[in-house]
Amino acid sequence: MNNTIDLFSKINLIEPLQRAITATGYTKPTPIQQLAIPHLLEGRDLLGCAQTGTGKTAAFALPILQQLAHGGRRLEPRQARSLILTPTRELAIQIFDSFKNYGRFLRLRYAVVYGGVGQGAQVQAVRGGVDVLIATPGRLLDLIDQRCLSLRNLEIFVLDEADRMLDMGFVNDIRKIIAMLPQQRQNLFFSATMPRDIKQLADSMLTDPVTVEVTPVSSTVELIQQSLMYVERSRKGDLLRHLLKNPKFQRVIVFTRTKHGANRVSENLEKNRISSAAIHGNKSQGARQRALEDFRSGRVRVLVATDIAARGIDIDNISHVINYEIPNIPESYVHRIGRTARAGAEGIAVSFCDAEERAFIRDIEKVIAQPIPVDISQPYHSEDVANSRLMSKGKAKAAIEGGGGGGRSRGGRRGGGRSRRGGRR
């Protein structure tokens, strides 16, 4: 494979796509685009290990659009020619916008379906058939169950953010959807991490795939200036407000483990005249979109988010990520801090650690294969926390949940999975 494709014009894309790329201002493909697009244009299955911010969406959108434009198959009612399955509403909307942007000069039909909103407009959008369908698992299954949509003629299937899909409890939905697909199809599988269960799912879905790996965990982490601040849990709010007095904290994402925690932190910031918005699974779709737009435009300086709500947020120039609460899954730490290291940029990540969270830090440092430097210069540094006896991970999780810090629910899902009616993602 030629790894020296330095310009989009050197990739064998049709003129309408080249024109759209030029209109967006892109000239140089990212590594995943260089590696993936030629294989996908040949119709190969692909296993991609890539994080958000690597140019992954264009890497699969451009070849899919080219194949659909060349295929010329007539659309049939309530059928989709290609399906991109993704875990969250926000990411589904972003991918939908990308397809419309790249395909602006093609005569193709696009639709996006997701839960949390009425389905009437979505049913209407797929009624005449679509070339490209972007969907979250729950709403997709709802529409199929109601016979508003069929996947029997699907040509291309993309499973995006597979690790987050499994983390959110969607594995059974995914297997149901895969079982509905025709045998003859092209498959694309993307995941930021490749633990054993993800690899097993990929092996069951892909045929003789090309494997593309870009921006591994270690190289992403190396781009980020990390610091660890030991602090009593009751003083975390004070420490956050202290840091935000620094004008260098221009566009900040603050992570909490729970929805209630996100609301609490955001409300406290607003009381102290620091513009903020919370985003999590209990927020309406309209509220989530408004929060994202306010954050993107700079009207809001701080976005307070849970892991699930923030996964797939595609916003550049985030100056800082603050882990107000340490995640109890080490890989989530990498996903979080990666919000501030987009497409090879550098970033800054700060983590607040209380006594019960020290076991989580130990696990994180194993995954990233490096210690996180401790900042003792901050005014709320706690030697008691720093020198506290390290409890086991299980006890730490129980202590945090018992104290209202929250983590996962009993079934392994976190906010925003499936409900019986209308609440599926």
* pLDDT tens digits, one per residue of 307-326: 866 665 667 788 999 999 99
Which residue do the tokens 């290291």 mark?
Answer: 341
Burial of 200 (0-12, 13-18, 19+ CB in 10 A): exposed
Do residues 181 and 222 both lie within one domain? Answer: no
Do residues 121 and 154 both lie within one domain? Answer: yes
Taking CA 105 as the corner, what is the angle to CA 104 and CA 111, rounded to the nearest 5 degrees? 40
- 255 located within any domain: yes
Do residues 398 and 323 both lie within one domain? Answer: yes
The one-character DSSP state at 421 is S
Last residue within a domain, chosen from 180, 215, 250: 215
Do residues 90 and 119 both lie within one domain? Answer: yes
- 271 located within any domain: yes
Q: How far apart are CA 205 and CA 404, in angstroms?
A: 40
Do residues 229 and 211 both lie within one domain? Answer: no
Cα separation values, 130 from 79, 100, 153, Å: 6, 13, 11
Number of domains, the chain: 2
Residue 296's CATH number: 3.40.50.300
Q: How far apart are CA 405 and CA 325, in angstroms?
A: 8
Amino acid 205: pLDDT: 95
**Residue 312 CB partners (closer than 8 Å, separation 6+):** 52, 86, 87, 88, 90, 91, 94, 161, 164
Instruction: Give me the helix-helix angle, 31-41 and 56-71, nearest 10°.
Output: 20
Under 8 Å between Cβ of 290 and 264: no
- 230 located within any domain: yes
Dihedral class, residue 258 (left if φ above 0, else alpha if ψ from -120 to 50, else beta): beta
- 177 located within any domain: yes
The one-character DSSP state at 79 is B
Amino acid 8: pLDDT: 85
Do residues 247 and 127 both lie within one domain? Answer: no
Cα separation values, 342 from 94, 166, 317, 346, Å: 16, 24, 8, 8
Boundaries of domain holding 70: 8-215
Do residues 329 and 236 both lie within one domain? Answer: yes
DSSP 220-232: HHHTEEEEEEE--
Q: Which two tokens stand for residue 166?
A: 């499994």
DSSP H helical ranges for 78-222: 89-102, 120-127, 137-145, 162-167, 171-179, 196-205, 217-222
- 412 located within any domain: no
Q: Are strands 252-255 and 224-230 parallel, antiparallel or unpaired?
A: unpaired
Taking the chain, what is the end-to-end CA distance rounded to the nearest angstrom? Answer: 38
Do residues 143 and 224 both lie within one domain? Answer: no
Last residue within a domain, chosen from 215, 238, 264: 215
- Give pLDDT tens digits for 83-136: 999 988 888 988 999 999 999 999 999 999 999 889 999 999 999 999 999 999
Amino acid 220: pLDDT: 61
| Dihedral sign computed on CA atoms, order 122, 127, 132, 136 | positive
CB atoms within 10 A of CB 356: 22
Do residues 222 and 201 both lie within one domain? Answer: no
Do residues 322 and 201 both lie within one domain? Answer: no
Do residues 323 and 362 both lie within one domain? Answer: yes
CB atoms within 10 A of CB 155: 20
- 240 located within any domain: yes
Q: Which two tokens stand for residue 265?
A: 């932190």
- 425 located within any domain: no
Amino acid 402: pLDDT: 52
Residues in the chain, pLDDT under 50: 1-3, 403-425
Q: How many CA atoms lie within 13 A of 285 on its CB side?
A: 17
The one-character DSSP state at 38 is H
Instruction: Give me the helix-helix angle, 89-102 and 15-24, nearest 10°.
Output: 120
Q: How far apart are CA 245 and CA 154, in angstroms?
A: 53
Instruction: Give the pTM.
Output: 0.63
- 417 located within any domain: no
Do residues 74 and 129 both lie within one domain? Answer: yes
Under 8 Å between Cβ of 244 and 324: no
Last residue within a domain, chosen from 166, 193, 215: 215
